[in-house]
């Protein structure tokens, strides 16, 4: 049974960085990707980015580009997401999810399953 377990809650000052980990088990880590999604309090889901675990390529959303780094350690089946220069509006629950990526002609196919339990990140002075 595939499972993702994330690191614990974080409280950070504005301007600091946070690094969230996502440890995978129950499947071949490098056969899928990992996506990162966040959810601000009372808000919807916001896609942050994607890392392909078989070639290391990443894609990130425009609103966090330049502040986010997604990496992985295949020896421990763990993915990481680091967000720098934190602001108060980065306060959210951060989720990782195993991702499937495929292309059929010109049509892209992404789906995410399972998801980690979420990591609350609070940015406050």
Partner 1 sequence: QSVLTQPPSVSAAPGQKVTVSCSGSSSNIGNNFVSWYRQLPGTAPKLLIYENNRRPSDIPDRFSGSKSGTSATLGITGLQTGDEADYYCGTWDSGLSAYVFGTGTKITVL
Tell me: does residue 29 bind partner 1 (CB under 8 A).
no
Six-digit token string for 22: 């996502």
Tell me: does residue 111 bind partner 1 (CB under 8 A).
yes
Tell me: does residue 73 bind partner 1 (CB under 8 A).
no
Query: Going by DSSP bridges, is the β-strand pair 107-115/78-83 parallel, antiparallel, or unpaired?
Result: unpaired
Among 17, 45, 82, 85, binds partner 1 (CB under 8 A): 45
Choice between 1 and 125, CB closer to partner 1: 1
- Judge whether 2 and 25 are in contact, CB under 8 Å: yes
Nearest to 83 by CA among 17, 8, 7, 10: 17
Choice between 74 and 111, CB closer to partner 1: 111
């Amino acid at each position: 049974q595939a499972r993702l377990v994330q690191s614990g809650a974080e409280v950070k000052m504005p301007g600091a960085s946070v690094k969230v980990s996502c440890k995978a088990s129950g499947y071949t880590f490098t056969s899928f990707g990992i996506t990162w999604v966040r959810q601000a309090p009372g808000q919807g889901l916001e896609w942050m980015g994607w890392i392909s675990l078989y070639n290391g390529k990443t894609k990130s959303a425009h609103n966090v580009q330049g502040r986010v780094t997604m990496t992985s350690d295949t020896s421990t089946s763990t993915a990481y997401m680091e967000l720098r220069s934190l602001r108060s509006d980065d306060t959210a629950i951060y989720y990782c999810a195993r991702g499937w990526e495929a292309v059929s002609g010109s049509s892209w196919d992404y789906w995410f399953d399972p998801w980690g339990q979420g990591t609350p990140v609070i940015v406050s002075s």
